[in-house]
Structure 1
Amino acid sequence: MQAPFPSAHDAPALTAHHRGFSLLTEDGEYLTLSAPELRSRLDSMPCPLVVHAPSFARKLDLPPPGQPSPWLDLLELFTFVYPARTAAPTPRGLALALGLEEEQIGRAEADLLPTLVEIMLTELARQKNGPLGDMLAALTVRLAQAGWPWAGTVAETLGLPDKLDGKGNLPEDALQPGDALRVWRVLPKWEDVAPRPPPASHPITPAEARTRLRTLLGEGSESRAGQADFASVSTAAFEPRTHRGNPAVVLAEAGTGTGKTLGYIAPASVWAQRNGGSVWISTYTRHLQRQIEQETHRLFPDDATRRHHVVLRKGRENYLCLLNMEDAVNSAASRPAGVTIALSMLALWTRATADGDLLGGDLPGWFGDLYGQGSVSGVADRRGECIHGACPHYQRCFVEHTVRRAREADLVIANHALVMAQAAYAQAAMSDDAEDTEEDATPSRYVFDEGHHLADAADGAFSAELSGLEAAELRRWLLGAEGRRSRARGLKRRLDDLVVGFPRLEAPLDAALMAAHALPAPGWSARLAETDSSESGPPEPPPIEDPDGFLPATPALPEPVLENPTESFLRLLRQQVLARSEDRRQTHQYGALECDLHPLIPDLTEAGQTLARALSRIAEPLRTLAERLQARLQDDADSLDSVTRGRIEAMVRGLRRRAITRLDAWTSMLDALDQPPLADTTPTHIHFIRLDRRQQQRPGEHDVGLHRHWLDPTIPFAAVMAMPAQGMLITSATLRDQSDTQNRQDEPETEETERAWEAAEARTGANHFPSPAIRASLTSPFDYARQTRTFIITDVDHASIADLAAAYRTLFEASGGGGLGLFTAISRLRGVHSRIAPALEDQGLPLYAQHVDAMDNATLVDIFRTEEHACLLGTDAMRDGVDVPGNALRLVVFERVPWPRPDILHRERRIHLSGGDTTGYDDRIARLRLRQAFGRLIRSQSDKGVFVLLDRRTPSRLLSAFPPGAEVRRMGLADAAREIRAFL
């Protein structure tokens, strides 16, 4: 096999550094070039070695290289040789992932890259006789046909030229390239086991928790003040419940650096092993999910043992769908060569992955940047498409594997939204008296880390949205793709043999599908926009509402149909929000417009009633269908095989979760149209209209809808958790709105401390459980007076992007990198990034940014952690759950006071939940966010760092957000920069 590319052994190598670009020529000459000089040489240069080609192209102001890449990207070789390992996508990050020591890496310039290639090729040569050797050979043939630049070097390493016939084909008895892509044929199948018995209720003692903690920490680990106390206090969440619906609740604030993760893993693991049950550990961010999973390596060092005892659970949309993968492989021949390259890498990853998690798992976060974002989204388990038991790959499905492993695990690491959804579904099944089996046996013990976000998660989990996108998505789930290129199967096709030949089932199904045409038809968004003649410019073309990654959708033409009741209702919603938005000029800006639902414009009530009747004509036959399918499980119990029973159970769940529950919520919202809120009363729900704008290059409308939120979302959270939970630990470093956390539970509480605890209980929902929560406060072990400096800059106009950018550049230069810049708005982040990135790069301070770089947040944090002089810009997701100890993070710069967004939701909660102190309500939110941001700075006893707030209007009443010893000083930018240089 001969690829049209030079061997990697003879290729030049390129890296970027602050002096420009480092070039190691094919003759061994070492040069430093500027960007113009390098660009002028690229066309005549043999295919060079680079790391992260898209990022390298951006540094040269070149367009993305695409696939197949014109360069030999070491990350592509890495994904081939190590398909389920991650690495920071920089020369240093790759070197560390390959096991090199710092002294071997040096300054990570061009001469390092040939060494990294040799390491990977040596490993590849070792693998050619291993279990995946045949697959590697077959995929190399396919990759060579697609023009992959590494194909020649890889083929030589695998010894392929000697195995191929004269036409470049593998022997007939060898694994063929097409079969190598069809990985779903060889993945292991799950097998059902007997249901796990209910757990026992034996308590655990603080002494046992402390003993397990010492075991986890091991010899020579850093001793953290308060960690053992935290483990002891946490055992109260595992006490046996004394009354039904009355779980033991422990509310524990553990200051930054306490070591709370191992502090709760210790008692949780003891309880799970003693009682034969599962403890669900729930987080708000993916960052923390991954960190907790890494900590469990201390508990179960052996990978196979840990896989049995620890499971990480996410929503379905995070996982690879084998049916989508099959569709992509089958259509690859008609697609560009880059699709084949991406699918080959995904096939290798699919054979090696631990759990099929595409987002935040063991697929590198830069995979989409290399091979196109569609390469990942096109094979994901997209919402509403799963056909469960009807899928030919059902018994090999990664999601189903994970669900079944979670039933037997000791620790399940999930997220708040999933936990709430599971509990809500279990409660609904009990209230309906339905014999519905849940995906997971409902656990009885929970740990909610990042507990300060429980209200946010509950707000999303228990809200309802009657919008164009939601309604159109339901139509697609019921009717299928309706002529567009998509594998989305309608309900009739998913049910097929379960219903055909059973008139009692066919009749309600046909009735529901006929009624589903009342939902928005393809092209609805364009038709709504066309109704407003005051909009300037031509109407927006119909959006591609169903992009399928490898199977691109075809824009649907607007249907010349009769007046659609959902579209009529949406049109009136849009009319009302445009009429009542405060600033009509905003209608061409990104973001959202909102208005109150009441008072209604003319015709909206009537349109809502018409829509409610149309929705009931969908919901009632679906309800009948679900009931009759459920009855078939009993009526035909003697003839149904286990596969068919599983399909029926899954379909009944799907009908209730995906359609009936949603339709009932929408009908309830429409009933509220003629029920305006009464004056001087506290509402249970908040209703408002929102018009969303596209956050993309082409401006235009994205969606319009009626929204309903709980005034206090922790009420439904407590309601759904009260029955299944026998005990729960709610913990965070920022539960209370006060900086003095030195009041231990054995010290007298002041009135101020009591108010702070009461507010924390209200924010987490702990006050809605029958018994009062057990309170605990553990102090941070850090000496903030010695380890930190805190400044408020007084001479920067934070309303000016130019001034703001100059301030960030000055501060990042003063710290020599290691800076985390936090923003309250994406547009301001992008504006600052575009202004300062080149100047910082010139000084050897590479700048990365969320919402700018095409990598997930975990990968950006990995780069930031690896590259000691890098800087990172981010928004809320970087403010929480990011753990970067050491010198890699030594400066946090916050763009402005993080006041709550002044929208309708906040307005109503501020009025009704503030106790009359509306200013104090806003202040508490801002102080807690400042505390969270400050908490990123110091993660170990040896850290030093500076916190800077670029808002000269910061009121002094917010400064209690900072911990004791962190003196806050106001000064000009130049003075602060000098002090930062001296301190660091």
Structure 2
Amino acid sequence: MDHLVFIMQTSFPSAYDAPALVAYKGAYSLLTEDGEVLHLSAQDVRQNLQNMPCPLVIHAPALARRLDLPPPGQPAPWLDLLELFAFVHPATPVAPTPRGLALALGMQDEDIGAAEADLLPRLLSLLLTNLARQNNGTTAEHLAALTVRLGQAGWIWSSTVAETLGLHDKLTPQGRLPETMLQPGDALRIWRFLPKWEETPLPPPPASHPISPVDAREQLTKMLGEDAEIRAGQADFASVATGAFEPRNVRGDPAIVLAEAGTGTGKTLGYIAPASLWAERNKGAVWVSTYTRHLQRQIEQETRRLYPDQATHRQRVVLRKGRENYLCLLNMEEAVNTAASRPAGITIALIMLARWGLATADGDLFGGDLPGWFGDLFGQGNLIGVADRRGECIHGACAHYQHCFVEHSIRRAREADLVIANHALVMAQAAYAQAGMSDDADETDDPSAPSRYVFDEGHHLADAADSAFSAELSGLEAAELRRWLLGAEGRRSRARGLKRRLDDLVVGHPKLETPLEAALMAATALPAPGWSSRLGQEQADEPPPPEPPEDIGLFPLEPEAPQPVLENPTEVFLRLLRQQALARTQEGGKQHVYAALECDLHPLVPDLAEAGHLLARALTRLVEPLRTLVERLHARLEEDAETLDSTTRGRIEAMTRALRRRAISRLDAWIAMLSALDTPPEPDTTPSHVHFIRVERREKQRMGEQDVGLYRHWLDPTIPFAGIMAIPAQGMLITSATLRDQQTNEPDSDNAEQAWEAAEARTGANHFPSPPLRASLASPFDYARQTRAYIVTDIDNSSIVDLAAAFRTLFLASGGGGLGLFTAISRLRGVYDRIAPTLEENGLPLYAQHVDAMDNNTLVDIFRTEEHACLLGTDAMRDGVDVPGNALRLVAFERVPWPRPDILHRERRIHLSGGDPKSFDERIARLRLRQAFGRLIRRQSDRGVFVLLDRRTPTRLLSAFPEGVEVRRLGLADTARELAAFLADTERADQN
């Protein structure tokens, strides 16, 4: 079909005359085709939609959920302005609300008004004006080609976009784009237009010139500028942080600064000042690490104060994440090549990704500059399909290697001053470098490898280390390794398998073919497709649920054929693990039937030890030929040095690293874990590791296990953390607002030293040779004046009905701006379902983690933008929300955040509590309460209220709150009245 005919003769609606619809104060604001604004109920809207032309909306999937309508499809059959925004302004995150979109398009508050339906035509006009401005040069060719392809796929906006771009003037008489212009199919092949990186010599090692406190203060002053808010203690923090940049005197003994900086100190800029100055003077990078991707972006935004010029900032600051976060161009190419056979919605998603891929700063799909609502509009599976989620990267063997976003970031990081990473990546990189398994072939011997580190959110180091250094021998993990080794095994899948990746490298080389074939044969000992369905088949009361699909979105699978039941050694072992877990765990009471089940590894049920020995032998038969294969591939690099071209050499190096990381290291860990079957823990001794069995189960599927496995965790995970950091790190700053637990607010009490010792143990600082330099900077806030705190005494928080009533009452009393924190997802969802309609009716939109199909960054952006919105969340919201101003004026916590009473915690409570398990639990709870309270006040002008809905809260936990905060115990009604009065007084004071 001719492009012109397809675009211009479709039945797509005219966006200019379309009605508009937005959710508004519990009802809906509708702008009719006649220009009348109506306020309708949900029922009225549902009836009107049947006879209404496609309306203008914002975030169609969310609107459909509010209207209790079926998902509108991807993309929606409505004129969703977010879809148009994604095309006009790719790589521009925006809060997906009318107000958020208006602010992103430059409108002022007075022009936005109440953000009713009549705002949407103005937003449409702004978007099309901005689109028209881009219609020049090479951008015009890309816009034209992508618009034609979108029209062919049936995108609802294509005719409006084509008209705005004046496509009828560009097309040939035959209705096609001229051959001299970029063609639609070529426009999707974005790797052809991306910049290449060129290999450069490794930079020399950095010098070791120290940074004086005076220098750090001067750098901080330069960064802040004349108009910045003065924060007491920030300059002191910058001075203290210089201790982490002192030259190291003994190998393996880094200089460590342990600095607690109270909320509002301004610690981010406080450490960026000396870190950037050290990097500049010594020509080396400082790695700044935090706990989550969301916090990485927050830190990156702060660095723009230091480097306001965009080009300079890109050169000096690099954000690093794991490969699975980035757009994989090889996966993108596979998706483009199969687009013709895919549904139109997938094709539209692919085109939108292509539009974004040419505009993105770093190719980060998750938490980067791709809007967090993209997956909700165009399908989350489509994002996963183009990311390297299965470890399939072939590194130098990839045709797109020199365009690769990840490789770009690795090379930019070598020349950067500040590299912003997360704890998990830093630990993985350090461990891989020690073992010679780095992502970058040169990183192991890189003289410019990182030597100075800043660990922000240092109170999470133990959690990150626990994840990084634990091991899991589970059905899902073992089945994933089988897929990586054997590929699709006859099923429709993009899993390539080891033979396909290595075939041309080993063919004709018997020394390589033999171990490869032996390994592939031995890999059949891992769980075969359909293992989950067979796991408990003989005991289930009903047919088990199907195993989750291997691939989704861009790479869907056809239904899997039934597999014969074989005595697979891994499956036999897993079956016995499951038997032991079910036999030794209790269900009933208020425990959800889909909660994970755990039991100790010892004593073993009959036959489990023998099954473990058989599995260990099977895994040994797999790992040994893989090890031989790696050794002989390395040997080929030397033996065929004169004939190997650089591409082949790069492929061999990449594959040997991948084999060691993806398979050999994992198999070695599993074999070591199985040896624990013969060594039950000795009584009255402290083990180095904790072993236990866990059965993970699907929600709302009784006895529908999703996975079962044997788990191994370090009793103290900061031991391996210190072990891998001692050699590369010459200096480390570990900082947080909540490093210490203060059992009393008296700073000179007897427990002060104990609090510091506990902080050193929690961060691993006590495992380094020299003691750290300790520092504590108090918060500059006047909490007695700026806050109120309450414990509600007449609510039963075990009742979801009472809990929902409490949250509804508090959020209404605050007039929105409320953050509700939960210790369990099930209770969060239960409260959301019960209070959302009432809050909506009162003009307080409610959003929730684990309910709304958006990432945490987007939810926080909405919460920050919509001053009267409320947000429900769990741990990530407790630790990672930075919302200054009136948008956050209430934090309500559902209950005391006691540690989860699982086996791992039990063992740490016994062996790491210093003989006082009760205090161990209380310390964890106090630190979590401090983190939650810290969300409330972010600057001097903030005012807020903290409410704990747990009448059983022990008084000894109240020292978690800052000095000057009086915690009052009141009933719900009295709490709500005082809360409303305090916030009203604050608002009047601000107005005066």
Q: Does TM-score exceed 0.5, indicating one fold?
A: yes
Per-residue CA distance 1:267-293 (angstroms, 9 max, x = gap)? 110111111111111011122101001
Per-residue CA distance 1:600-636 (angstroms, 9 max, x = gap)? 0111111111111111111111111112222222333
Q: C-alpha separation between the residues in 1 aligned to 2:411 and 2:355?
A: 24
Q: Which residue of the other structure, out of 615, 638, 641, is the alignment partner of 2:642? A: 638
Matches within 5 A, 1:31-430: 31-165=38-172, 168-429=175-436
Counting matched residue pairs gives 974
The residue identity in structure 1 corresponding to 2:545 is E
Q: CA deviation at 1:641?
A: 2.7
Change (3 A) 1:623 1:584: farther
Residue in structure 2 matched with residue 816 of structure 1 by the alignment? 815
Does structure 1 retain, via aligned residues, the 8 Å contact 2:289–2:426?
yes
Residue in structure 1 matched with residue 929 of structure 2 by the alignment? 930
SS at match of 1:352: coil
Residue in structure 2 matched with residue 473 of structure 1 by the alignment? 480
The residue identity in structure 2 corresponding to 1:274 is R
Q: C-alpha separation between the residues in 2 aligned to 1:548 and 1:390?
A: 25
Does structure 2 retain, via aligned residues, the 8 Å contact 1:588–1:699?
no
Does structure 1 retain, via aligned residues, the 8 Å contact 2:60–2:377?
yes
Residue in structure 1 matched with residue 986 of structure 2 by the alignment? none
Confirm whether residue 594 of structure 1 aligns to residue 598 of structure 2. yes
Does structure 1 retain, via aligned residues, the 8 Å contact 2:204–2:448?
no
Residue in structure 2 matched with residue 488 of structure 1 by the alignment? 495
Does structure 2 retain, via aligned residues, the 8 Å contact 1:718–1:769?
yes
Q: C-alpha separation between the residues in 2 aligned to 1:345 and 1:115?
A: 23
Change (3 A) 1:514 1:441: farther
Higher alpha-carbon deviation: 487-496 or 625-634: 625-634
Matches within 5 A, 1:950-965: 950-965=949-964
Confirm whether residue 538 of structure 1 aligns to residue 543 of structure 2. yes
SS at match of 1:447: strand
Per-residue CA distance 1:783-822 (angstroms, 9 max, x = gap)? 0000000000000010100110000000000000000000
Q: CA deviation at 1:60?
A: 1.7
State the TM-score, normalized to the length of structure 2: 0.96
Q: C-alpha separation between the residues in 1 aligned to 2:414 and 2:823?
A: 40
The residue identity in structure 2 corresponding to 1:422 is Q
SS at match of 2:896: coil
Q: C-alpha separation between the residues in 1 aligned to 2:449 and 2:678?
A: 39
Confirm whether residue 677 of structure 1 aligns to residue 642 of structure 2. no
SS at match of 1:792: strand
Q: CA deviation at 1:588?
A: 7.8
Q: C-alpha separation between the residues in 1 aligned to 2:536 and 2:324?
A: 30
SS at match of 2:536: helix
Q: C-alpha separation between the residues in 1 aligned to 2:393 and 2:116?
A: 47
Confirm whether residue 707 of structure 1 aligns to residue 711 of structure 2. yes
Give the share of equivalent positions with the same residue, in percent.
Answer: 76
SS at match of 1:709: strand
Matches within 5 A, 1:570-581: 570-581=574-585
Q: CA deviation at 1:716?
A: 0.4
Does structure 2 retain, via aligned residues, the 8 Å contact 1:544–1:555?
no
Does structure 1 retain, via aligned residues, the 8 Å contact 2:689–2:712?
yes
Higher alpha-carbon deviation: 439-448 or 656-665: 439-448
Change (3 A) 1:630 1:472: same
The residue identity in structure 2 corresponding to 1:810 is T
The residue identity in structure 2 corresponding to 1:527 is R
Q: Which residue of the other structure, out of 642, 664, 667, is the alignment partner of 1:663? A: 667
Matches within 5 A, 1:699-738: 700-738=704-742
Does structure 1 retain, via aligned residues, the 8 Å contact 2:743–2:751?
no
The residue identity in structure 1 corresponding to 2:895 is R
Does structure 2 retain, via aligned residues, the 8 Å contact 1:422–1:442?
no
Per-residue CA distance 1:944-976 (angstroms, 9 max, x = gap)? 000000000001010000000111000000000
Does structure 2 retain, via aligned residues, the 8 Å contact 1:403–1:439?
no
The residue identity in structure 2 corresponding to 1:370 is L
Q: CA deviation at 1:113?
A: 1.1
Q: CA deviation at 1:538?
A: 2.1
Q: C-alpha separation between the residues in 2 aligned to 1:690 and 1:270?
A: 48
The residue identity in structure 2 corresponding to 1:650 is A
SS at match of 1:691: strand
Change (3 A) 1:439 1:620: farther
The residue identity in structure 2 corresponding to 1:510 is E
The residue identity in structure 2 corresponding to 1:944 is R
Q: C-alpha separation between the residues in 2 aligned to 1:741 and 1:267?
A: 31
The residue identity in structure 2 corresponding to 1:314 is K
The residue identity in structure 2 corresponding to 1:135 is H
State the TM-score, normalized to the length of structure 1: 0.97
Change (3 A) 1:440 1:594: farther
Q: C-alpha separation between the residues in 2 aligned to 1:876 and 1:85?
A: 27
Q: Which residue of the other structure, out of 586, 597, 612, is the alignment partner of 1:582? A: 586
Change (3 A) 1:883 1:827: same
Q: C-alpha separation between the residues in 1 aligned to 2:793 and 2:27?
A: 35
The residue identity in structure 2 corresponding to 1:789 is R
Confirm whether residue 617 of structure 1 aligns to residue 621 of structure 2. yes
Higher alpha-carbon deviation: 57-66 or 722-731: 57-66
Does structure 1 retain, via aligned residues, the 8 Å contact 2:597–2:695?
yes
Does structure 2 retain, via aligned residues, the 8 Å contact 1:740–1:963?
no
Q: CA deviation at 1:549?
A: 1.8
Q: C-alpha separation between the residues in 1 aligned to 2:702 and 2:133?
A: 50
SS at match of 2:728: coil
Q: C-alpha separation between the residues in 2 aligned to 1:450 and 1:779?
A: 16
Per-residue CA distance 1:554-577 (angstroms, 9 max, x = gap)? 343343254111111111111111
Change (3 A) 1:586 1:331: farther
SS at match of 1:419: helix
SS at match of 2:529: coil
Q: CA deviation at 1:6?
A: 2.7
Unaligned stretches of 5+ residues in structure 2: 1-7, 984-992
Q: CA deviation at 1:596?
A: 0.3
Confirm whether residue 804 of structure 1 aligns to residue 803 of structure 2. yes
Residue in structure 1 matched with residue 965 of structure 2 by the alignment? 966
Does structure 2 retain, via aligned residues, the 8 Å contact 1:742–1:777?
no
Matches within 5 A, 1:762-777: 762-777=761-776
Q: C-alpha separation between the residues in 2 aligned to 1:100 and 1:462?
A: 49
Q: C-alpha separation between the residues in 1 aligned to 2:442 and 2:426?
A: 21
Unaligned stretches of 5+ residues in structure 1: 744-748
Per-residue CA distance 1:191-250 (angstroms, 9 max, x = gap)? 211011111111111111111111111111000010000000000000000000000010
Q: CA deviation at 1:165?
A: 4.0
Does structure 2 retain, via aligned residues, the 8 Å contact 1:379–1:549?
no
Q: CA deviation at 1:428?
A: 2.2
Residue in structure 2 matched with residue 746 of structure 1 by the alignment? none
Per-residue CA distance 1:133-182 (angstroms, 9 max, x = gap)? 11111111111122212111111110012223455322222212111112
Per-residue CA distance 1:720-770 (angstroms, 9 max, x = gap)? 000000000000000000177895xxxxx6531101000000000000000
The residue identity in structure 2 corresponding to 1:812 is F
- When the two chains are superposed, the root-mean-square deviation of aligned CA atoms in Å is 1.8
Does structure 2 retain, via aligned residues, the 8 Å contact 1:8–1:49?
yes
Per-residue CA distance 1:255-274 (angstroms, 9 max, x = gap)? 00000000011111011111
Higher alpha-carbon deviation: 227-236 or 156-165: 156-165
Residue in structure 2 matched with residue 835 of structure 1 by the alignment? 834
Residue in structure 1 matched with residue 652 of structure 2 by the alignment? 648
